[in-house]
Amino acid sequence: MSSRRNFLQTLGTAALTLPSIPTAFAAAVNSEPYQGPVLRVALMGLGGYAGLVARGLESCQRAKLVGLISGTPSKIKSWSQKYNIPEKNCYNYENFDAIKDNKDIDVVYVITPNALHHGQVIRVAKAGKHVICEKPMALNAREGQEMVEACRNAKVKLLVGYRMHFEANTLEIVRMRQAGELGQIRFFQGLSGFRIGDPGQWRLTKNLAGGGALMDIGVYAINGSRYMVGEEPVWVTAQETKTDPQKFKPGVDETIQFQLGFPGGAVASCLSTYSMNNLDRFFLNGDKGFAELQPATGYGPIRGRTNKGELALPHVVHQTKQMEEMAAIILDNKKPVIPVDGEEGLKDLKIIDAIYQAVKSGKKLSLNL
């Protein structure tokens, strides 16, 4: 492990101009087989994103897919064959509380539609297992608070699937900012969007999604503004526009612009939308210099530049990197550079609540995170 890490670190610092390296190549460099503890993961919700996580887990050393939770028996059958999962580690949404008696599962990764996260995370916590929950952690801050408390009471860890918190180019900008290389931060721009297709999908159904683009993709700009500026915002304003009220029903936002103010004087100007493709850009400016990422939050490779030059640290599959790091957080109590715990998810939910409130009232609202 350490030889692989050293190799990646050495390569990382030297490779500002190198193309991305495949994970398999990076893994192949490790000559000694890893013998230490492994985080044993069960996935809940076997949809599109769970597929990426399952594939990412295949290249992990310290995390392994060992269990499945799904309401669709045919998916359990095909996934358990593909990933070699024993029947005793497969559950459905009715019986998964029994996971508490399963000694072979450490953590459940909840990857279901947003509205289900709250109840499912609390059930997993009550079963005594650690939980990783996809973003957005819940529909609102009240739900998020209840999830944080349930996990605290059950003495299990709650992590949010913020994969960008482990991405090398993102972390390099955070390092530059912390080292003062950008000077006093004055401005952040976060643009997050894509054109959504099928109007019948859960992402466009208020009851399952909890909203629209803001819940799904705008959360990247919200979360990004916090880790790029490096402070918690103290006020918010927001404006909504809708070009297609047929597709985007009441309560499902198509486009929201929002602005955040930070205690150090920085402002963030952000856009969240379901009606523009290839909108994925972060731009940070301090009084000494700038750093930008474009694409900033896609599945990679992430690319960027600063006033000092190009940023192109090697691409590692985000889900592999995230799960390796989350294994270290859960197994070794490692502290990540940018937090990924339930409190972090809760802060984003408080901002989401305030953005929706600001859209309705047209007012500038104070935030107390």
**For the window 130-149, what string marks contact with ligand NAD as x by the rule CB under 6 A?**
----xx--------------
Length of the chain: 369
Of 163, 321, 347, 350, which one interacts with ligand NAD (CB under 6 A)? Answer: 163
- Residue with Cβ nearer ligand NAD (50 or 154): 50
Q: How many residues sit close enough to ligand NAD to count as binding (CB under 6 A)?
A: 19
Minimum CB separation of residue 309 from ligand NAD in Å reads: 28
Residues 187-206 that bind ligand NAD (CB under 6 A): 202
- Residue with Cβ nearer ligand NAD (161 or 261): 161
- Give counts: helices (H), strands (E), the chain: 12, 15
CA dihedral over 85, 89, 95, 99, signed as positive or negative: negative
Please indicate whether residue 242 is annotated as part of the active site: no
Q: Interface with ligand NAD includes 83 (CB under 6 A)?
A: no
Q: Interface with ligand NAD includes 177 (CB under 6 A)?
A: no
Integer Cα distance of 168 and 68 in angstroms? 30
Integer Cα distance of 266 and 274 in angstroms? 27
- Residue with Cβ nearer ligand NAD (114 or 189): 114
Instruction: Find, among 157, 165, 112, the residue nearest to 139 by Cα.
Output: 112
- Residue with Cβ nearer ligand NAD (134 or 254): 134
- Residue with Cβ nearer ligand NAD (312 or 323): 323
CA torsion 1-327-178-270 (nearest 10°) is 130
Please indicate whether residue 335 is annotated as part of the active site: no
Q: 250: buried, middle or exposed (CB in 10 Å: 19+, 13-18, 0-12)?
A: exposed
| Alpha carbon distances (Å) from 76 to 82, 110, 319 | 10, 15, 21
| Beta strands, E only, 140-214 | 158-160, 185-193
Q: Interface with ligand NAD includes 113 (CB under 6 A)?
A: yes
Strand partners, 291: 284, 306
Catalytic-role residue among 91, 109, 220, 356: 220
Integer Cα distance of 34 and 98 in angstroms? 31
Minimum CB separation of residue 48 from ligand NAD in Å reads: 3
- For strands 39-44 and 63-69, give the pairing: parallel
Catalytic-role residue among 91, 109, 129, 135: 135
Q: Interface with ligand NAD includes 226 (CB under 6 A)?
A: no
Minimum CB separation of residue 169 from ligand NAD in Å reads: 16
Minimum CB separation of residue 257 from ligand NAD in Å reads: 21
- Residue with Cβ nearer ligand NAD (78 or 178): 78
Q: Interface with ligand NAD includes 111 (CB under 6 A)?
A: yes
Residue 299 neighbours by CB under 8 Å, 6+ apart: 52, 318
| Beta strands, E only, 100-254 | 107-110, 130-133, 158-160, 185-193, 235-241
**For the window 285-314, what string marks contact with ligand NAD as x by the rule CB under 6 A?**
------------------------------
**For the window 35-64, what string marks contact with ligand NAD as x by the rule CB under 6 A?**
----------xxxxxx--------------
* SS3 assignment, position 156: coil
Q: Which sequence positions are flagged as catalytic?
A: 135, 220
Binding site for ligand NAD (CB under 6 A): 45-50, 71, 111-114, 116, 134-135, 161, 163, 202, 208, 216
